[in-house]
Amino acid sequence: MTTTHLTSDATTLSKDATTTAGDRTSSRNGTTARLRVMWYAVLCLLMLAGGIAFYFRMTEGLAVTNLTSTTPWGAWVAFYIFFVGLSAGAFLLSSLVYVFGMYQFERIGRAALLSAIVSMGVALAFIGIDLGRIDRSALPLVFFHWSSPLSWEVRFYIVYIVLLSAELAIAIRLHKGRSRSPIRAHRRLRILGTIGIPLAIFGVHGGTGTIFAVLKARGMWFGGLFPVIFVVSAMVSGTALLTVIHYVQRRGTGQRPDAGLMKGLATVLAGVLCVDLGLMFYEFVVPLLAFQAHDGEVIRVITLGPMWWSFWIIQLLVGMIIPVAVLLTPRLRARPGVVATAAALVVLGIVGVRFNIVVPPLIPGVLHGLPSGYYVPTLIEWVLSLGLIAGGAAAYSLFAEVQPIHDAEDRAEADAEAGAGAKAPEHTKEASA
């Protein structure tokens, strides 16, 4: 009789637990659906505003900007090199998985490849709207000169995008189990990744740095160190971006971020941040010790000019010092939320880096007696920039909706977590026995 009552109680408890777990899963799914609707609504509003700004850009030309013959490059060029860096950095992070076999990062492998493709598309959109004659944007493909970094760069971009697309397609087919030979698919991924590493380093982002480095009339641009700084900065921004994407994606779908993955990303990010900080030190110290007047004037504009706060606060404090302090503290590095926050600060800091790379060298006059420049982005420039960024985020999100960019096991893990509470108490087994 007692055994019958125990069994009945255990069955009742199991049903209640199952109901509770089901309610919890339903509530989480409802929250996820609301967040998804809000996310796409915000993106649509930003793209609509960006579309209006693009109309004014096309009808009124560069008159809607604060660009002049003295400062011909501004926010759009800064965002261009920012997103090229995100693309190259994300791809180099994916190579840790597909080339070097560091499978602890496999969960973000496809996300890294998709981020690289989308970032490259956004970068090209930014440099496209910056052109005075957008209708001539295809001419670099028609004409070529071996001594022009830009001629090489355009061709590197095309090869790079094709390679990324092929690698992502193979990775998706492999994940879906549609590859006839997984061993051959892994080999192809390794070959494409191996080809892509020098392409990303020397052709894509190193090449972008070369475009600046050969301009000897501009202080702080001319020099062999500049392409190296671009590549290291790309690793910083790409790693930080993927850290934020993984955390937000998991939290947005009601799941826990992978603690081991977040800790590994934090270690990589801390390492490349320290290297980037060291390179920045030499980038500033060498011209000062050499008493190079033009470089010294640019450094003065960066550190003491009207936009000094973008260097000291955004780039140095927010984007470097605080994240390094957080990521080098073991207790903080073990907390995914803190790591994601530090990574988001790094991304913001890299935006400041890109603006300080592009704008300050254009402010001092190239020759004595020539007028100095001045530049602050207009509202149209900011709104159009936000619209393009929102378009890239929408493209990434929509593609991830229809393809397994994030782990397909995520849903199973969520169900397992939800079902954990549905297990019968230990005394159920005793009662059954």
Report helix angle 225-252 to 336-358, nearest 10: 140
In angstroms, the Cα distances linking 329 to 219, 336, 342 are 37, 13, 12
Residues 6+ apart with CB under 8 A from 381: 64, 65, 66, 74, 75, 76
Q: How many CA atoms lie within 13 A of 202 on its CB side?
A: 5
Amino acid at 222: F
Considering the entire predicted model, what is its pTM? 0.84
pLDDT of 410: 45
Residue 396, number of CB atoms within 10 A of its CB = 20
pLDDT of 415: 38
* Cα-based angle 101, 102, 105 (whole degrees, multiple of 5): 130
pLDDT of 144: 84
pLDDT of 408: 47
Instruction: Tell me how far apart the terminal alpha carbons of the chain are, to the nearest angstrom.
Output: 14
Helix (H, G, I), strand (E, B) or coil at 239: helix
pLDDT of 9: 52
**Going from the N-terminus, what domains does the chain have, and what CATH number goes with each?**
46-408 (1.20.1630.10)
**Do residues 79 and 354 make contact, with C-beta atoms less than 8 angstroms apart?**
yes
Per-residue confidence in pLDDT tens, the chain, 433 aa: 455 554 555 455 455 545 554 555 555 566 678 888 999 999 999 999 999 999 999 999 889 999 988 889 999 999 999 999 999 999 998 998 888 888 888 888 999 999 999 999 999 999 999 987 777 877 888 888 888 888 888 899 999 999 999 999 999 998 888 888 888 998 999 999 999 999 988 888 888 888 888 887 787 888 778 888 888 999 999 999 999 998 988 888 778 888 888 989 999 999 999 999 999 998 888 888 888 778 888 899 999 988 899 999 999 999 999 999 999 999 998 899 999 999 999 999 999 999 999 999 888 877 777 778 889 999 999 999 999 999 999 999 999 999 988 864 444 344 334 344 434 333 333 333 3
Burial 228-259 (b: 16+ CB within 10 A, else e): bbbbbbbbbbbbbbbbbbbbebbbebbbebbe
pLDDT of 316: 93
Question: Which token pair is 168?
Answer: 């992502």
* Closest CA relative to residue 26, chosen from 423, 418, 408, 416: 418
Burial 331-354 (b: 16+ CB within 10 A, else e): ebbebbebbbbbbbbbbebbbbbb
In angstroms, the Cα distances linking 76 to 50, 170, 362 are 13, 33, 15
